[in-house]
Chains A and B, each alone.
Chain A
Amino acid sequence: MARKKRKTRRGGRKRRRSRRSSFPWGRILLALLVVVVGYVAFLDFQVYRQFEGKRWALPARVYARPLELYAGLKLTPQQFADELRALGYRSVSKARRPGQVARNGSRFELVSRPFLFWDGREASHALRLRFASGHLSELTDARSGKAVALARLDPLEIGSIYTARQEDRILLRLEDVPDTLVKALIAVEDRSFYQHHGVSPRAIARAFWVNLRSGEVVQGGSTLTQQLVKNFFLSNRRSLWRKLNEAIMALLLERRYSKDEILEAYLNEVYLAQDGQRAIHGFGLGSRFFFQRPPKELNTAQIALLVGMVKGPSYYNPVRHPERALKRRNLVLKVMLEQGIISRSEYQKARRQKLGLVRPRAGTSKSFPAFLDLVRRQLRRDYNESDLVSEGLRIFTTLDPQLQWALQKSLARHIQPLLKKHPELQGAGMVTHSANGEVLALVGGRQAGFAGYNRALDARRQVGSLLKPAVYLTALEQPRRYNLASLLDDGPLEYRQAGKLWSPRNYDRKFHGRVMLYQALAHSYNVATARLGLALGVQRVIDTLRRLSVEQPLNPYPSLFLGAVNMSVLDVTRLYLNFASGGFDIPLRSIREVLQADGEPLQRYELSIERVIDPGPAFLLNRALQLVVQEGTARSLAQRFPASAGLAGKTGTTNDLRDSWYAGYDGEKLGVIWMGRDDNQSMGLTGSSGALRVWSDVYASAGAVPVQMPKPDSVVWHGVDRDSGGLADSGCDNTVQLPFIESGVMPPAAPCASGAARRWLPKWMQ
């Protein structure tokens, strides 16, 4: 059957062949012409579509908070210098152009860059600044000498959101590109750019000759237009067919568009470097990537370097092959001199310069993967992934680079020396603004610069004593039963539940007898806490935790009082924000605004708050947490920070020293630190020997702001005798000041009270 079929086919072919002699050549030519014209029209359409529409998929750009400058701002000259450096401001003797700064000790003079914010364009300012005692003390206009109330710097760009192997670029308009760069590019890559119509026959002929002689393709006669077409529309294969397509499309492009439009597209398209998974395209991003500044601020040598790299971005990569890159740059400079683009003196000066790469200074890097991870998670809730990687959205976040660097450094400083003994030691931390819930800093592991397991968000670990404030708050919310001086029993406890015996012990393996409620919290006594919890009831404590936004599964067992709950740094932050804010639940935010590529506001993430603790109990708990620092488990802070700071917080240590926690706040920000091992084994640190020290360093370098929690009208202060827990007067010499809810239960007069208090108190209280 098969054979038969073949036969008939063969016969058919014969027939066709015989007809060929009378084939009409004219028609075939016509058909060919139609095909060619159709094909050209198809290419023309492609050129048109790609060029007219959105030319590039632009990743969303992510910015840190802009630094707001005003007299009175808490900032040291060093911090300011670090920030300017990260922003790529250049040190000069006299600041004349945007992006330049002149420093003289604690005085700065700078010209800021203009920037488009959600509320419009912040113009470039010429500013004079003076710092004194940790503050920006003077801010004046450098030209008029008048005081400036407020000025905003351009924000630090901290990343972009792209897919694997995505191209990244910062779009430039032609007027954003220095003239010298454009001239140098044309001189080096395509001298007849302004004369040809897309292809240069002379250049092609030359290349053809060279290639013919060597028997392979060595030289390309490509014009800038052809290069653009190649990158824009075609694959990287070097075939004749592609060459032909390239030439046709180049001609079409030139027919439809002006030289300036083509040049602008080229400047944005050209590939310059690879940064991990990200391809660096265009002179805008290239300039930022290698020199930390926009093209307008580049000097001649830097321009020559970038232009030279176009020929072979990886071969002439100045980071990996500095010598090659330098040679190439000097060649470009020579061409620039020959073509009259630069003068001889400019040439001499530029030639002598080093490569001038500006890499982020150690400790002030701009790579914050853990924070970006949080931003991405928030964005994914509200946006399509495809919009995030292609629409060029501009994301304004809450990150404070100063605090971020401080947090990274402090964690590293404390983990590094311990790695010999505990190679598995890890850490994570988060700092938030306690009035508005903005996330200021976030570290997800001991190597803050590397993306990976984000422990701050994803490692849920037992919190231990960090949970105790919820137990004490539950008590303080019953002012008719409890106050900060209420005496609790820290003697041996045996509790039977469902046939099982539970007998909690203290960390120091001792019992402390009768202690005041605040002391039990300050010293983190387990037994007294357990007994208090039992008296309150597990359900009541669970209700409190739920009200304070703890969403974890909670087992209704007494072990809950001692922190048998797994939470992440982020979860703990949410819980402690209730305390640090004076009783308000504040949703955490890592994004302030999202703008479209053109600067139109798309979305604003607004501050929202909700009171969850009454002012009275919130004030009492704040005082108790301050006493943790003044005389409890966090008292090492009291040796380092003045009492006027009024720092508050709580340590947490879990069984066998598996987790070291500290959650604490000053008058402005809440910091939560965790240290431990991923495999949940012991690592030998308590809350105060580990996490607390990290916290202390963060607040020492960032600066502590005093806690200011105004006393509610319902609260009164009393001196209390530390020995008896009774109300003290001038007859007592060992007292502590405690706030009480006026309508609640009061302690009896202390034995040492000499009479004033006795007379003052009603008889039944004495």
Chain B
Amino acid sequence: MNERIFCLPILVMLSLAGCSGTPPRQGLPPVVEGGAPSSEPAARVGVPRGEEPVVVSPPQSGGGAVVALLERADDYRRSGDVSGEAATIERALRIEPNNARLWSRLAEARLEQGQPRQAEQLALKSNGLATGDRALQAHNWRLVARARWALDDAAGARAAEQRARSLDRR
């Protein structure tokens, strides 16, 4: 519920930006905030020069499959097989490559695997996709901080902690 409330003003702003000074023939910038519903009908266009019209599928969402894989990843974690956990999350990411939570989860696993550099990068990647989800962003910045502590980058770690706190406050 919280996430939707955060998304709302962004969507409103976007649609305003799209309307102001934009004639109808210029569509909205191709930016999607959050996942598009998979029930959305596929779009069709006219057929130029005898070529088949191309149907663009809505982004893939593998809801049940990803949940199942995350449960399996939990099993791996409980049995102490972090590498198996990471590989299972990678498998889930092939199904939903834009799922910010999966990237964040992979970052955590890499931290457990003793790969703080990768953990940091994956958390940053997750943050790039987690627009509007402040809780997840704050969580990712804490992961970044932990990774940087592990890398003996105290200044970087404190800066990341600072960002996490400022996201908490807002």
Spell out A's residues near B (CB within 8 Å).
68, 70-74, 118-119, 133-135, 147, 149-150, 433-436, 438, 582-584, 593, 604, 606-611, 615, 623, 626, 636, 639-646, 667-668, 696, 699-700, 703-713, 717-719, 728-737, 739, 753, 756-757
Task: List A contacts of B35 (CB < 8 A).
Answer: 708
Task: List B contacts of A609 (CB < 8 A).
Answer: 118, 121-122, 125
Query: Can you report 7 A-B residue pairs in the complex whose CB atoms are below 8 A from each other?
Result: A68-B65, A150-B69, A434-B97, A438-B94, A639-B45, A643-B30, A710-B31
Considering the complex, give the chain B residue whose CB is closest to the CB of A707.
B30
Task: List A contacts of B150 (CB < 8 A).
Answer: none
B residues 27-43 with Cβ under 8 Å of A? 27-33, 35-36, 38, 41-43
| Besides A645-B54, A710-B32, A710-B33, 13 other A-B contacts (C-beta < 8 A) | A150-B62, A436-B94, A636-B48, A640-B45, A642-B44, A642-B56, A667-B59, A700-B54, A707-B30, A732-B21, A733-B23, A734-B23, A735-B23
Q: Is the CB of A713 within 8 A of B22?
A: no
Would you give the shortest CB distance from B3 to chain A, in whole angstroms? 13
The 4 closest A-B pairs by CB, nearest first: A646-B30, A70-B65, A435-B97, A719-B21
Task: List B contacts of A733 (CB < 8 A).
Answer: 23
Task: List B contacts of A623 (CB < 8 A).
Answer: 29
Q: Is the CB of B29 within 8 A of A739?
A: yes
Q: Is the CB of A643 within 8 A of B94?
A: no
Complex alpha-carbon distance, A276 and B31, angstroms: 52
Would you give the shortest CB distance from B62 to chain A, in whole angstroms? 5
Q: Is the CB of A729 within 8 A of B62?
A: no
Would you give the shortest CB distance from A605 to chain B, in whole angstroms? 10
Complex alpha-carbon distance, A642 and B83, angstroms: 41
Q: Is the CB of B59 within 8 A of A705?
A: yes
Would you give the shortest CB distance from B150 to chain A, in whole angstroms? 16
Would you give the shortest CB distance from B73 to chain A, in whole angstroms? 10
Complex alpha-carbon distance, A434 and B63, angstroms: 21
- A582, A640, A732: which contacts B128 (Cβ < 8 A)? A582
Task: List A contacts of B36 (CB < 8 A).
Answer: 706
Size category of the binding interface on chain B: 35 or more
Complex alpha-carbon distance, A147 and B68, angstroms: 12
1/0 per residue B128-168: CB within 8 Å of A?
Answer: 11010000000000000000000000000000000000000
- A643, A696, A706, A718: which contacts B17 (Cβ < 8 A)? A718
Q: Is the CB of A645 within 8 A of B56?
A: yes
Complex alpha-carbon distance, A709 and B31, angstroms: 6
- Cβ of B88 under 8 Å from chain A: yes
Q: Is the CB of A70 within 8 A of B93?
A: no
Considering the complex, give the chain A residue whose CB is closest to the CB of B40.
A644
Task: List A contacts of B32 (CB < 8 A).
Answer: 706, 708, 710
Q: Is the CB of A149 within 8 A of B42?
A: no
Task: List B contacts of A639 (CB < 8 A).
Answer: 45-46, 48-49
Q: Is the CB of A72 within 8 A of B128?
A: no
Would you give the shortest CB distance from A356 to chain B, in whole angstroms? 35
